[in-house]
Amino acid sequence: MKVLAIVASPRKGKSTDTLVDRAVAGLRSGDRKVKIEKVNLYDFDIQFCKNCLVCRDRETDEDFSPCIIKDGMNELYPKVMAADALIFGTPLHMGYPPGILMTFLERLCWTFGKPEGKVLTVYGCPVPRSSKERSAVIIITNGIIPPMYRRFCDDTTKAIKQTIRDSLNARTVGSLYAGDIENRGLDPYLERAENLGKKLSR
């Protein structure tokens, strides 16, 4: 099983990174043979989607419709394509995903998704170009909002979950909201992150 861990924190070695590493450790402790690659989005030149819609409207039966922008996403696309499972780790910024993560997700939307989906009566929503089934776990960190208030502010998990479902055919099998880390530290969350990794290996 090939696993891609995607970190969207500008602070390497801090909370998000540490919890992702614990999830990776949990994954490695399982029986399954896993090949894991970890990337930090801040190491890549990820430009904004220009809404040219070339990727969306290209007539192709391929699993992927290339983007016209030539940037760091060209290194990331094949890694996403090859992955059977994904680990997302990200801080929460003003209640939302950091800009770099949203930009990354926008760039996945129509390259991996085709506009043949229907929501209620509306056609043209993304459905995965590929039938390859993926699984994912999501780790969110934040400074002050405790987990009991997660439902009021956790749009980050939702944004990731929906995009990867609609474009990557990825089912989110678990998530961790590591809240209030400025006061609680990481200890209450380490084992849960490890268990999340184990869950992904099952």
Footprint on this chain of ligand FMN (rule: CB under 6 A): 9, 11, 14-17, 91-95, 141-145
Q: C-beta of 40: minimal distance to ligand FMN in Å?
A: 10
Q: Name residue 12's amino acid.
A: K
Query: E strands along 61-121, which residues?
Result: 85-91, 113-119
Is the distance from CB of 97 to CB of 5 less than 8 angstroms? no
Q: Which one, 154 or 166, has the nearer CB to ligand FMN?
A: 154
Q: Which one, 15 or 201, has the nearer CB to ligand FMN?
A: 15
Nearest to 160 by CA among 114, 94, 67, 91: 91
Q: C-beta of 70: minimal distance to ligand FMN in Å?
A: 29
What are the CA-CA distances from residue 96 to residues 38, 75, 99, 157, 194 (Å)?
22, 25, 9, 9, 24
Backbone angles phi, psi at 160, to 5 degrees: -70, -50
Q: Which one, 141 or 167, has the nearer CB to ligand FMN?
A: 141
Q: Which one, 78 or 143, has the nearer CB to ligand FMN?
A: 143
Q: Which one, 92 or 196, has the nearer CB to ligand FMN?
A: 92
Q: C-beta of 86: minimal distance to ligand FMN in Å?
A: 18
Q: C-beta of 25: minimal distance to ligand FMN in Å?
A: 17
Q: C-beta of 92: minimal distance to ligand FMN in Å?
A: 5
Which residues have a Cβ under 8 Å from the Cβ of 120 and sit 6 or more positions away? none
